[in-house]
Amino acid sequence: MRLGQIPAVPASAVPTRDDCSITEAYESYAPELRRYATARLRDGAAAEDIVQEAFVRFAIEAGARRAPRNQRAWLYRVVLNLIISGSRRAEVVRRRSSRLAFDDIELESPEVACLATERQRALATALQAAGVAGRTSLRLAAEGYTGREIAQVLGRSEGATRTLICRARSQVRRELAASYAEVA
């Protein structure tokens, strides 16, 4: 290259309008989104991660030519949804870990072991009465899945899935009440 000649710039290195809009949105909204997420989470590092994920999603939408009209509102909604999703996942992990911790405790006596076995049998029998779809829906709900996600797994509408879960819970309650009434 001779002196004074301008080097060629590859097309991929030239910022597009979308890149500028993402940069502008980040500079405009990132600080307030971080404050919002930090106030909700009480954890600055987690808030930073969530804001970063929100802007990654924004960049994906902008790249697909689906950038929202009201960027600020859209980003706030995405941040809130990520916070909610994260807390749901944390709750499922907490429940599973508490269940594991309980399973690690040695039973105090043979009587306690016998009662625990009877309760597990009664629950298994009650769940059998709920049917396959009922058991599946209850298990997924207990693991923290949303009604919409359960409906997709079962291939049903959300309303039908809510009805199924409600009926399955009622069936399990009736069966358990009947099994405990037999013991007493």
- pLDDT tens digits, residue range 127-178? 888 888 998 998 888 888 888 889 998 899 999 999 999 999 999 999 888 8
Question: Residue 34 pLDDT > 70, yes or no?
Answer: yes
CA distances from 77 to 26, 42, 72 (A): 15, 18, 9
CA distance 70 to 74: 6
Residues of the chain with CATH 1.10.10.10: 107-183
- Tell me the pLDDT tens digit for each residue of 67-76: 888 999 999 9
42 phi, psi to nearest 5 deg: 60, 30
CATH 1.10.1740 fits 15-93, yes or no: yes
Which residues have a Cβ under 8 Å from the Cβ of 139 and sit 6 or more positions away? none
Q: Which CATH number does 107-183 carry?
A: 1.10.10.10
Dihedral (CA of 117, 120, 126, 129) sign: negative
Residues of the chain with CATH 1.10.1740: 15-93
Cβ–Cβ < 8 Å for 161, 147: yes
Question: Residue 92 pLDDT > 80, yes or no?
Answer: yes
